[in-house]
Structure formats: structure tokens, C-alpha cells
Amino acid sequence: MVGFYACIVMVPCFWLLALFFAVGRERAANWLSGFHGLSKEEKAKYDRARMAKDERNACFLWGLIMLLGAGAALWITGWAALAAYGIWMVLFFRDVHLDTDRAFEKYKLPESQEEPDK
């Protein structure tokens, strides 16, 4: 039962974060770790809508993994919760970068498409 609760409590947390990034779109990208510290000129060089969309999708996927882990912990074995947390950790740390340039390089706009200051 502990595994079930350990997973099920994370589902609404992740899905609320997904909703935050879905509703906030470009503005929500400013809340990403490392991105909020950049200057306006630097932020204009990145596709914030795509960043928010990717983060929304990641949070939704994490919630789904925890939901499946909770179900498996309830009906199969409590150890399934540990597997769900393991899968989540792999996915989470795959996207963590200490270098801001490396973290956001796939979102960099071509020089001609940089957004004007808003």
C-alpha cells in the first residue's frame, strides 16, 4: 500500500505542472530552471513556446508513469512503485544539465527568427 500512495500522490503534482505549462505557454517557460536568470536579449534567442510544450509533455508523461506505477503497486506488487520512480528518475535526469547553453541548445532560434522584445 505504501508504494501505491508514494506514486499516486505524485500524479496530481505532475499533472498540475503540465496544466501550468499548457495554460502559460510562452510565459511559463520563464519558470524553467536556468532560463529565468537569462536577460531579455538572451531569452529572445529561444523558442519559448516549444520549451513550454516540451515541459508540459514531460510532466504529463511523468504523471502517467506514476499512475501506472500506482496501479501496478496496488494490483501486482508494491515493488512496482520503485520501478516507476526509477523510470521517472532516468527520464528526469536525462534532461538535467548544469550548463544553460547545453540545456536549451535545442530550442535556440535561427538568428533571423529571433523574437523581438515584448
pLDDT tens for the chain, 118 residues: list them. 888 888 899 999 999 999 999 998 888 888 887 787 788 888 888 888 898 999 999 999 999 999 999 999 889 888 899 999 999 999 998 887 777 777 778 888 887 555 555 5
Domain annotation covers residue 118 = no
pTM exceeds 0.85: no
pLDDT at 84 (0 to 100):
93
Domain annotation covers residue 91 = yes
**What is the residue-wise DSSP string for the chain?**
-HHHHHHHTHHHHHHHHHHHHHHHHHHHGGGSTTTTTS-HHHHTTB-HHHHHHHHHHHHHHHHHHHHHHHHHHHHT-THHHHHHHHHHHHHHHHT--SSHHHHHGGGBPPGGGPPPP-
Domain annotation covers residue 28 = yes
Task: Give the chain's domain count.
Answer: 1
